[in-house]
Structure 1
Amino acid sequence: MEAINTLAPTHRDILLRAVANVLSSPVAKQTYAQIVDGLPLSEVARDVYTRRLCNGHPLLDQHKELCPGVAEEAEQLCSGLDTGALLMPSQSALPGSPRFSARLVELVARAVHSIAAWLYTQDTSRHKTDALGTWQPPEAQKRYYPRTFPATLFCHPWYRDHDQYPKGIADCVGYWAEGRILGGVIVFDRRDPDLVKDAAPDAIYVHADRARVIYRICRLLDSQTDELTEFLLADPTPQHYPLPILPSEANLERVDPEQALETTGIYRDKWERRLRPLEETDWRTRDVSDFFNYTSPQDWREATWRSGKRR
């Protein structure tokens, strides 16, 4: 891949403008400030599909505001960062094409991720030695905590395999930031359209981790892709921020995150998600019908069948 300084000036300006638009959003400012602070806010720790902090963790009740000066420090760090150094785009897509939208969103997602990972490595946490930062759960509860604990609580539950990530735990923080800012980790259809008839290389998928939001990987609607692309290209930055873009009942094309990447073909990087151990909970095996995550009884039955086949 080419470094950003090899891009045509127009393409480079488009990309840097898109990243700047995202950084200006309230959700990005809050997310990056939490990384500088060292802990998620109580409301953010609760806003997950399945809670990963057991009742009794003091963060759930006590960390309702950021430490003084953190928001300003985060903004200063981000403004001083050479965003272009984080990006390595190609020029294979022309503005205005579906491929352009997919490439632009991918590069912005990688930038959002990289900025978060970089902030984490700056080791700015305000809670290293205080009661919140050093608190430990009872031994029996530790298995419920994210795999990144106690190093960090910034972790998307499906993107936790830090032992195989290029930046280790910092990449886990990056995936968490994507989820908070963009609405989910951004992934794509990597299947070869010459070999797979229904492959959609221009499609954009989002993998959310929010309370009362679909946990499966969802393809963005054309209207959502258009809204996101329009926001990224806006100059000057608009006053309306569509972020985060969350999937809903309208996002009918969905993929099981429990399936191997090689099976679904939906991912961004092949090392991002390891297949879950069979002893872990598989949401497809619940003994009650789930027509929130699954679009119909048939969709749910097929998912249950896939789970049984894998086992």
Structure 2
Amino acid sequence: MEGKLSIATLENQHRDIFIRAVTNVLSSQIAEVTYAQIVDGLPLSDTAFDVYRSCVCVGHPLLDEHQELCPGVIEHARELGANFDAGALEMDSRLVHDYQSASPGSRGFNTRLIELVARAVHEIAVWLYKQDTNRHKDDAFGLWRPPQDEVRFFPHTFPSTLLCHAWYRDHDQYPEGIADCVGYWAEARIFGGVVLFDRRDPETPDAVYLHPDRRDVIYRIYRLLDDQKHKLLQFMLCDTTPAECPLPLLPSDNNRHRVDPEEAIETTGIYRDRWERRLRPLKSGDARIKDVIDTWNYLSFEDWRDATRRGRRARRERKAKERGLG
């Protein structure tokens, strides 16, 4: 694991900009309701429905009945947040060093600031989850279990938590285990997707990607447009509490640079940490391989056709490799 450095080691200007950016993100309504759900212990019913594919399957009582947070949860979340010292966060030492070395306002500075803030949002969610404030451990919601033959339809973070992103549930390899699953869920809810970067292409070191998990939103990883990135930075860098909040950022047809999440991160080069997402098992299928043309996730016939070919090729190669290992 990479070494860590405290945000407190940053020089004043860089540290102040970081604290301001985190504070502005936390001031958003989407951040408040997201963190409050962690304190509450369960997603609200409308949040549970707001996913690309169902995480909470039909039959769970929260879908119909958990429409409001428990009394006092938002206030408790605010109190906990007030006790969290963002300046004491420890981040990857190379990232902290590169951020400190960059001139404020430069492209490299801005991209590293976004990464630091994304990591902070994630770490705050991890910290909140570890406070063990779940209000539903012993009530009908928390004690409910599906019939044995339906357990497979629930994520393998269940029953520990249902606060998880569809593609970021590999808790057995996460430094903070289940808590990191909650962290990925929180940053995806707040930013509009898990925040990723191009770790491979030296020509696009400042590209920022989001990996969403929302209803009526593509499941593919997409690159932020310059104006989307500008709006995010403008919001984070505002000296006063911003009046307009661009969060969560959601893709449109203009976001034409898209990446298949089915591909290994070593192949795409789009990730934040190497351990964040492993390849899906072959038995889980590949959304790229289907007979119906998907012009929602894929912007043209050619885009869909090329993705289908990538999916079939990857599947053949993995099957051949498994046979060879057998």
Shorter-chain TM-score: which interval?
A: over 0.9
Match of 2:319 in 1: none
Deviation of 1:87 (Å): 4.1
Corresponding residue of 1:292: 296
The 3-state SS of whatever aligns with 2:239 is coil
Contact kept, 8 Å, 1:121 with 1:170, in 2: the verdict is: yes
Name structure 1 gaps, 5 residues minimum.
194-198
In structure 1, what is the Cα distance between the partners aligned to 2:179 and 2:207? 27
1:175 partner amino acid: Y
**Separation in structure 1 between the aligned mates of residue 27 and residue 146 of structure 2, nearest angstrom:** 36
Query: Which residue number corresponds to residue 82 of structure 1?
Result: 85
Aligned match of 2:322: none
Is 1:266 matched up with 2:270?
yes
Shift of 1:46: 0.2
> Residue deviations 1:30-67, cap 9 Å, x none?
00000000000000000000012221111100000000
Deviation at 1:281, TM superposition (A): 2.6
1:87·1:107 contact (CA, 8 Å) conserved in 2? no
- State the partner residue of 1:25: 28
Question: What amino acid does structure 1 have at the position aligned with 2:75?
Answer: E
SS in 2 for 1:284: coil
Q: Among 95, 104, 108, which residue is 1:99 paired with?
A: 108
TM-score by length of 2: 0.92
**SS of the counterpart of 2:176?**
coil
**How far is 1:93 from its partner?**
2.1
Query: What code does the residue aligned with 1:287 have?
Result: D
Q: Which runs of 5+ in 2 are unaligned?
A: 316-326
AA aligned to 1:182 is: F
Structure 1 contact 59–132 (Cα < 8 Å) conserved: yes
Partner AA of 2:223 in structure 1: R
| TM-score of the superposed pair, with normalisation by structure 1 | 0.96
Distance 2:162 2:102 in 1: 37
Matched, 1:202 2:206: yes
Stretches of 4+ aligned residues off by more than 3 angstroms: none
Number of residue equivalences: 306
Q: Is the 8 A contact 1:207 1:216 kept in 2?
A: yes
Letter in 2 for 1:169: I
Deviation at 1:286, TM superposition (A): 2.1
Describe the SS at the equivalent of 2:283: coil
Indicate which of 47, 57, 60 corresponds to 1:57. Answer: 60
Which shifted more, 141-150 or 174-183?
Answer: 141-150
Q: Equivalent residue for 1:70?
A: 73
1:212 equivalenced with 2:216 (yes/no)? yes
Corresponding residue number in structure 1 for 2:183: 174
